[in-house]
A and B are shown apart, each in its own frame.
Chain A
Amino acid sequence: MPKCKNSQTLPSHFGLVSRRDFLKFCGVAAAAMGLPLSMGAKIAEAVAALKRPPVIWLSGQECTGCTETLLRSTHPTVESLILDLISLDYHEALSTPSGHLAEEAKKKAIAANKGKFILVVEGAIPMKDNGIYCQIGGRTMLDILKETAPLAMGIVAIGSCASWGGIPSSGPNPTGAVGAAEALGGKFKVINIPGCPPNPYNFLSTVLYILTFKKLPDLDNQGRPRFAYRRLIHEGCERRPHFDAGRFALEYDDEGHRRGWCLYKLGCKGPETYNNCPAILFGNVGARSWPVGTGCPCFGCSEKGVGFTAPIAAQASLVHFSTTGTPFKGEERVGGGRLCLTPPQTFPPIHPPEGHGPSAATVGVLSGLTGVALGAGAITATKLGKKETESDDKAGKE
């Protein structure tokens, strides 16, 4: 770990977190963002020097899974680490007070940190019938969001529900559920961290990026940080060689499934879903700790129009195709934008390359030899004729 001047001793509010664990965490977060390891030190400095950034956490139509995943993000002492990194001033599931006390605390926190807090939205927002299908403290989620959003420094939508509607928005969508960006009418820049649940590092890295560099990370056209949602799951999948070689599990627990072959034919949505699951895994318990790694086809939870929409066993469509290394102009792909490639890259062409034929030197040598042989043959033939006539003459004389 590179040297980190300001974090030789950690601020008192880090509590039981050891310096070592803290630096480790910052290193992991830097790696998740694709930053060099030295950035870990910068992140650590930024975080340690800062007063814990206040976070207001709003919950709409959700299952609290996104909160749970955040609480289970890394090695021991995680909860404390996470909760010490940010100052969770308001969170319905985690705050000690409840009811009017909690609402009171929220009001105070917002007033105290106007324009400085990070607003995190978890869960979808129902729009139908003025949003009456989700109310907190007698007010609709839509109202609360619209009131809070202008006061925040940045808005982060965590989970598929807050990003694009998720489960509540799947057909027939009785409550008219939409994601945070759509509920706000596109007036605010919202960072989407889709997933069901999203990888906690994608969320934490985004927050740390904002804190460290004082700007938003590079986002794609769906508002997702590029560092996490740049590539198709299919591209980084550990089972991809099996796909390329045509080895597929055809049903659960068959020979191919037991041998770890590609799950495409069981309905894996890896070729349609952009996420970094195969790269950073889940729960920090080592290799294979992600759905496809455990033998379960990707279900496309983070991709709008795939997760909770496409039938689970339906095969993903392999629409896009581009050769590796060439810029993809049709869709966005600028210096590491969305990559679109799907079928194996290793198909033989219709007309395979053929040999180039004999070289000029070979032709020269061979024709030379043929000429010599022909000449020698001709001379021998004429000499044979002469001898025959000579012998004939001799025979005549005798």
Chain B
Amino acid sequence: MGLSRRDFLKVAAGGSLVAASSFSPAPLLARESKARLPEAVGILYDATVCIGCKACMAACKEYNHLPPDHSTPGSVWDNPLDLSAKTYNIVKLYKNGTGQTKDQAINGYSFIRRFCMHCVDPACVSACPVSALTKDSTTGVVKYDKGACIGCRYCQIACPYNVPKFQWDQAFPQIKKCQLCDHRIAQGGYSACCEFCPNGASIFGNVQDLRKEARRRLALKPGEVAHYPLHRVDSQDVRHRIVTPYLNHIFGEREGGGTQVLMLANVPFQDLGLPPLPDESAASQSETLMHSLYKGMIAPYVLLGGLFYLVYKNTTKQDLP
């Protein structure tokens, strides 16, 4: 079958229309990473203050009514190996060489708390086809609605931090992850992990205040005695300790469009299992692509029309009913 000059021109015209609708309006459709909500709440975790006591893990289990997790081989106690549907919050250990000095990348060790980062522009919310995962318009908490969830687990693939977990052992499984104790926030409380952190390694508060506090800590000189608020960023209950060195980086300030959970440490965050992410959120990039392709459904209709035409041209009249 040869392609006539006329057909070629027709297809070429259709193709250029598709291309034009995809690319030329792209700057207009490009979705910016979402901005931080002014009332958003979050957690500042400071690995140099953390003593690895796991009180946050115990409190998290208690106030979220989570069962013990025996994923560590040979474990008789509640001793999870990683985040799971039974564990929303975990304290992990980075260790290098002899592992003698705290918060040191070489021959040292560092604790790191892992839980939902509550992204400013969450990829899981963007990926969820049924809006089972939503971002609270006031507090910015990424919430889950089990009634809407269809169990596709797109959120698990979308999350850059590998946080949402699926209940593999349940007949009617749900996605499980930290929701910043929103049931406690609704009653005027705050996250259990921060309330039970004895050292002020995790503090709860408005994200703007937490960013200020994080910058204050980065400006402190190692060796001097400084105050560290306990439990909440605006708390009058403070603890004085000798400042240890910090890596000059606030994880979550810009990573992946920013997160409402901020982290400080003296070991490179990549070594602590936190991925290197661009400043733009994954959701903004994928949504720009998708919204450009499907803008006004022009491109799909043109493509479909072209296909129809090709089929029509290749079908002889005898084949028609």
Residues in A lying within 8 Å of B, measured CB to CB: 241, 243-248, 250, 264-265, 315, 318-323, 329-330, 343-344, 346-353
In the complex, per-residue mask of B27-54: 1 if CB is within 8 Å of any chain A CB, else 0: 0000000000000000000000001111
CA distance A192 to B238 in the complex (A): 40
Q: Which residue of B lies closest to A241 (CB)?
A: B77
- B58 contacts chain A at the CB level, 8 A cutoff: yes
Residues in B lying within 8 Å of A, measured CB to CB: 51-58, 72, 75, 77-82, 90-95, 98-102, 109, 111-112, 196, 198-199, 271-273
B112 touches A346 (CB 8 A): no
A248 touches B98 (CB 8 A): no
Q: Between A and B, how many residue pairs show CB distances below 8 Å?
A: 80
CA distance A323 to B90 in the complex (A): 20
Residues of A within 8 A of B95 (CB): 321, 349
CA distance A362 to B78 in the complex (A): 34
Residues of B within 8 A of A343 (CB): 51-52, 93
Residues of B within 8 A of A315 (CB): 51, 198-199
A321 touches B198 (CB 8 A): no
B111 touches A347 (CB 8 A): yes
Residues of B within 8 A of A347 (CB): 52, 91-93, 111
Residues of B within 8 A of A352 (CB): 81-82
Where chain A touches its partner, the secondary structure class is: loop
Residues of A within 8 A of B54 (CB): 245-246, 344
A349 touches B77 (CB 8 A): no
Q: Which residue of B lies closest to A266 (CB)?
A: B198
Most buried by A among B77, B90, B94, B271: B77
B100 touches A346 (CB 8 A): no
B100 touches A350 (CB 8 A): no
Contact partner of A322 (CB less than 8 A), chosen from B80, B90, B99, is B99
A318 touches B100 (CB 8 A): no
B58 touches A250 (CB 8 A): no
Q: Report the minimum CB–CB distance from A232 to chain B (whole Å).
A: 15
A247 touches B198 (CB 8 A): no
Q: A246-B57, A318-B52, A319-B102 are in contact. List 14 more A-B contacts (CB 8 A).
A: A246-B58, A247-B58, A248-B198, A265-B198, A315-B199, A319-B101, A320-B100, A329-B98, A348-B81, A349-B92, A349-B95, A350-B112, A350-B273, A352-B82
Residues of B within 8 A of A350 (CB): 92-94, 112, 271-273
B58 touches A321 (CB 8 A): no
Q: Which 9 A-B pairs have the closest CB atoms?
A: A246-B54, A347-B93, A350-B273, A246-B58, A352-B82, A352-B81, A265-B198, A343-B52, A348-B81
- Can you report 9 A-B residue pairs in the complex whose CB atoms are below 8 A from each other? A244-B77, A245-B79, A265-B53, A318-B52, A319-B102, A343-B51, A348-B72, A348-B81, A349-B92
A330 touches B58 (CB 8 A): no
User: With A346-B72, A348-B81, A349-B93 in contact, is A321–B99 under 8 Å at CB?
Assistant: yes
CA distance A245 to B57 in the complex (A): 9
CA distance A288 to B55 in the complex (A): 25
User: With A321-B109, A343-B51 in contact, is A348–B98 under 8 Å at CB?
Assistant: no
Residues of A within 8 A of B78 (CB): 245
A323 touches B77 (CB 8 A): no
CA distance A346 to B81 in the complex (A): 9
Q: Which residue of A lies closest to B239 (CB)?
A: A315
CA distance A329 to B98 in the complex (A): 9
Residues of A within 8 A of B90 (CB): 348
CA distance A131 to B75 in the complex (A): 58
